[in-house]
Amino acid sequence: MTRKLAAAALVILGAAIVWFNSGHDAQSVMVEVDVPELGATEQEGAELFAAQCASCHGPNAAGKDGVGPPLVHVIYEPGHHSDMSFFLAARMGVRAHHWSFGNMPAQPQVSDADVAKIVTYIRALQRANGIY
């Protein structure tokens, strides 16, 4: 009987670990993002995004629950947030207005050239996910 209980406990523990590691934690992504095949500049933008932005905005701009919003979201479509809004956000920060994550601080370590590549990547993700 003790072995059966121990085996059952291991199965439950293993299932809990799999569930926890599959993104069901307090910082899981907020939206599902289909990633298209990327061109050279978009790929550079993806690498820069991963290094500079993903800690708050999640992998592939999917957002991070409790941390930062998804950028692959209709709120950030080009007609509502132009490319310039991303440059301004990086230079000046952003006051919280669409989401309740708090203000975004300026990101002075990211150059304008890098922001341009990041925006190219984000726009490619948006298009691939039906956001024009």
Q: What's the total number of domains in the chain?
A: 1
Residue 23 has pLDDT above 90, yes or no: no
- Residue 20 resides in a domain: no
- Residue 97 resides in a domain: yes
Residue pointed to by tokens 């479509």: 77
Average pLDDT for the chain: 87
Tens digit of each residue's pLDDT (9 = 90 or more) over 104-120 = 999 999 999 999 999 99
- Residue 102 resides in a domain: yes
Q: What is the predicted pLDDT for the residue at 98?
A: 93
Domain housing 111: 26-128
Q: What is the predicted pLDDT for the residue at 85?
A: 97
- Residue 2 resides in a domain: no
Report the alpha-carbon distance of residue 78 to residue 73 in Å, rounded: 11
Tens digit of each residue's pLDDT (9 = 90 or more) over 62-87 = 999 999 999 999 999 999 999 999 99
Pick 111 or 7 by higher pLDDT: 111
Q: What is the pTM of this model?
A: 0.79
- Residue 6 resides in a domain: no
Residue 42 has pLDDT above 50, yes or no: yes
- Residue 8 resides in a domain: no
- Residue 21 resides in a domain: no
Phi, psi of 68 (to 5 degrees): -155, 155
CATH of the domain at 63: 1.10.760.10
59 closest CA partner among 76, 34, 41: 34
Q: What is the 3-state secondary structure (H, E, C) of the chain?
A: CHHHHHHHHHHHHHHHHHHHHCCCCCCCCCCCCCCCCCCHHHHHHHHHHHHHCHHHHCHHHCCECCCECCCCCHHHCCCCCCHHHHHHHHHHCECCCCCCCCCECCCCCCCHHHHHHHHHHHHHHHHHCCCC
